[in-house]
Amino acid sequence: MYVCLCNAVSDKALREAVRRYQPKSIQQLRQLVPVGKQCGKCIRVAREIMEDELQHAPLYKEIA
């Protein structure tokens, strides 16, 4: 599903970026993926996806 229609960013792309880089804020996520750079309607959904993925992401110590 597309989250950001303006920049054609899907929920899969957002989830992948969050899993890989684990941004701590929506501003950090926006540096990784071009969401909310035009109309801004996607910010709420992008934040929800980020928070959901971060809750399920293993801690760094668990990976190492």
**Has residue 63 got a pLDDT over 70?**
no
Confidence band, pLDDT 50/70/90 cuts, at residue 56: confident
Full-model pTM: 0.82
How would DSSP label each residue in the chain? -EEETTTTEEHHHHHHHHHHH--SSHHHHHHHS--SSSS-TTHHHHHHHHHHHHHHSPPHHHH-
How many domains is the chain partitioned into structurally? 1
pLDDT of amino acid 54:
92
pLDDT tens for each residue of 17-51: 999 999 999 999 999 999 988 998 999 999 999 99
Residue-number span of the structural domain to which 27 is assigned = 2-63
CATH at residue 14: 1.10.10.1100
